[in-house]
């Protein structure tokens, strides 16, 4: 039985400190300064990590540097949100350096996707933090709509409900559960580690990019063989950008889940591509393909009076 409740962060407010962290791949020169100016323009206090300008091969610094920046952001009371600059590769290398079980019960607003899935999953499994799957920091530079969407979502001004159109229904049904997931490749690599969350009775969300059909098939088969389908409440598929055609993906998924009764939907607008709406992870949701709804059952934010 997995974790049933999570710790909620406060909603974002004007003047809040936002840590800019690079836990994975390197990024273009000038990107941090561009994001800093963007956030300052919107009335926030960007706080770049101490090692943000470091680099080690294809990584944004050595493992201890990237872990130190992340831990410093988690522990700094002036930091209210943590924006990961980009994905790529590298987050998994720092997991063993983060004492997830000792991070406390007052989460930061943690935002990112793709390789950042390693951190989302670990923050839930080890800390019980509700986090936010959505654009990486670099996606917000020179994309005013993405920036507005993120600010609205993290400030509590946006709805996290999504319509489920009939053509999105792969297998109909109703389900409720904690929403978890992210990048399929990253989640597959977490299996068998202490950082992999228990998805029993959960709604599992998956997305990916540039994976051949047989690789998606192999990863889904790995999840099935590992027992993830046994007690799952529902399966939600986001974008599989530059992968196989949608009909082929549906066929692969249906073969994988054959023999299990949970509902499956595909084509949700989350993951690699635009727009990439913010999705709370660790929050209970309700899925009803008959009514065409995917709705949170509570707010992802902590009461400001708590």
Examine the residue annotation and report whether 106 is marked as an active-site residue of this protein.
Answer: no
Cα–Cα distance measured from residue 179 to residue 236, given in angstroms and rounded to the nearest whole number? 9
Q: Are 48 and 82 in contact (CB under 8 A)?
A: no
Point out which residues pair with 17 in neighbouring strands: 45, 79
User: Max alpha carbon distance in the chain (Å)?
Assistant: 53
Examine the residue annotation and report whether 92 is marked as an active-site residue of this protein.
Answer: no
Residues listed for the chain: 306
Catalytic one among 120, 207, 211, 233?
207
Point out which residues pair with 295 in neighbouring strands: 286
Cα–Cα distance measured from residue 179 to residue 278, given in angstroms and rounded to the nearest whole number? 13
Catalytic one among 91, 114, 127, 256?
114
Examine the residue annotation and report whether 207 is marked as an active-site residue of this protein.
Answer: yes
Q: Are 141 and 38 in contact (CB under 8 A)?
A: yes
Cα–Cα distance measured from residue 50 to residue 132, given in angstroms and rounded to the nearest whole number? 23
Cα–Cα distance measured from residue 19 to residue 37, given in angstroms and rounded to the nearest whole number? 14
Cα–Cα distance measured from residue 261 to residue 274, given in angstroms and rounded to the nearest whole number? 32
| HSE of 31, CA atoms in CB hemisphere, 13 A | 19
Q: Which residues are catalytic?
A: 114, 207, 272
């Amino acid at each position: 039985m997995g974790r049933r409740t999570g710790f909620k962060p406060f909603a974002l407010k004007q003047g809040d400190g936002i840590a800019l962290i690079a836990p994975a791949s390197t990024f273009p020169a000038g990107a941090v300064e561009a994001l800093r100016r963007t956030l300052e323009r919107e009335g926030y206090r960007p706080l770049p990590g101490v090692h943000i300008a470091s680099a080690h091969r294809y990584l944004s610094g050595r493992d201890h540097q990237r872990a130190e920046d992340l831990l410093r952001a988690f522990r700094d009371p002036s930091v209210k949100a943590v924006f990961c600059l980009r994905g790529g590769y590298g987050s998994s290398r720092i997991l063993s350096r983060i004492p997830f079980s000792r991070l406390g019960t007052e989460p930061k607003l943690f935002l990112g996707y793709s390789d950042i899935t390693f951190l989302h999953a670990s923050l839930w499994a080890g800390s019980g933090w509700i986090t936010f799957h959505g654009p990486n920091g670099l996606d917000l530079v020179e994309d005013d709509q993405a920036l507005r969407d993120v600010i609205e979502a993290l400030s509590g001004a946006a709805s996290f409900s999504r319509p489920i159109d009939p053509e999105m229904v792969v297998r109909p049904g109703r389900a409720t559960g904690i929403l978890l997931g992210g990048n399929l490749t990253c989640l597959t690599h977490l299996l068998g580690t202490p950082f992999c969350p228990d998805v029993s009775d959960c709604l599992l969300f998956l997305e990916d990019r540039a994976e051949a059909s047989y690789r998606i098939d192999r990863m889904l088969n790995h999840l099935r063989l590992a027992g993830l389908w046994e007690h799952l409440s529902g399966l939600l598929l986001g974008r599989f950008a530059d992968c196989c055609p949608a009909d082929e993906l549906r066929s692969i998924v249906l073969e994988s889940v054959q023999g299990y009764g949970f509902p499956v939907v595909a084509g949700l607008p989350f993951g690699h591509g635009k727009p990439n709406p913010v999705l709370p992870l660790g929050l209970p949701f309700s899925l009803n393909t008959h009514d065409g709804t995917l709705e949170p059952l509570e707010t992802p934010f902590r009461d400001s009076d708590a």
